[in-house]
Amino acid sequence: MEIGIHRVATINYTLKDKDGNLIDGSSNGGFRYLHGAGNIIPGLEKALEGKRKGELFQIVIRPEDGYGVRNSRNIHKIPLDRLPQGQAIKPGMSYQATADNGQGIVVTITRVDDEGAVIDANHPLAGVSLYFDIEVLDVREADAEEIRHGHAHDTEGRACA
């Protein structure tokens, strides 16, 4: 069976940057997703389309098909009183914020001075080419509940990617 729309794929993967630094991975068969539901980055979903159980392959995902290109409009200077209180604010810190549309986003503080802080709402992997090693462990038809929920379930019925 091939990976395709309304199928659940289980994969092992290793994700590295261009210098070979490990970013993420799953080697225990614990990464399962519903193909076509938009639960993984577009370039990876496209690369997995048509693959079968047992296939091993490598793929490079360009930023446009991954977490996007860095966008300067996602960088803002804000007053310190708009940041979480009760802790020292330092560059490199990340915290949950609320976007103008009410959606939660993670922002990273990149600079702090007496006038405020510069925050970056770009995804940490925006602008980064992603180097994947992938092993397809299993492919099966999604059940009606998974399709209705828009994500795969594990063997105990819990939500996966």
**Element housing 147 (H / E):** helix 144-149
> What is the value of pTM for the model shown?
0.83
Range of the domain at 92: 72-120
Same domain? For 63 and 19 the reply is yes
15 with 59, same domain?
yes
Identify whether the C-beta of residue 124 lies closer than 8 Å to the C-beta of residue 74.
Answer: no
Question: Minimal CA–CA distance to 120: which of 68, 75, 73, 84?
Answer: 75
Residue 62 vs residue 94, higher pLDDT: 62
Q: Is residue 81 part of a domain?
A: yes
Q: What is the pLDDT of residues 32-88, one digit of tens each?
A: 999 999 999 999 999 999 999 999 999 999 999 999 999 999 999 999 888 878 888
Cβ atoms < 10 Å from Cβ of 120: 20
Q: Look at residue 13 in the predicted model and tell me its pLDDT.
A: 97
The model's pLDDT over 129-160, given as tens digits with 9 standing for 90+, comes to 999 999 999 999 999 999 999 999 876 666 67
In a domain, 25, yes or no: yes
CATH number of the domain enclosing 133: 3.10.50.40
Q: Which amino acid is at 55?
A: E
Task: State whether 96 and 25 are in the same domain.
Answer: no
Q: Which residues contact 126 (CB under 8 A, 6 or more apart)?
A: 63, 67, 68, 69, 70, 71
Is 99 inside any structural domain?
Answer: yes
My answer on whether 32 and 109 are in the same domain is no
CA–CA distance, 86 with 88 (Å, rounded to integer)? 7
Residues 106 and 139 occupy one common structural domain: no
Domain shared by 33 and 78, yes or no: no
* Mean pLDDT value across the chain: 92
Can you read off the two tokens belonging to residue 128?
């980064």
**Cα gap 105→51, rounded to integer Å:** 33
Q: Distance between CA atoms of 55 and 92, rounded to whole angstroms?
A: 39
Please give the tally of structural domains in the chain: 2
Tell me which residue has tokens 């019925």. 157
**Which two structure tokens, joined as six digits, stand for 1?**
């069976």
113 and 37 in a single domain? The answer is no
Which CATH number does the domain housing residue 82 bear?
A: 2.40.10.330
Q: Read off the DSSP letter of residue 83.
A: S
76 and 62 belong to one structural domain:
no
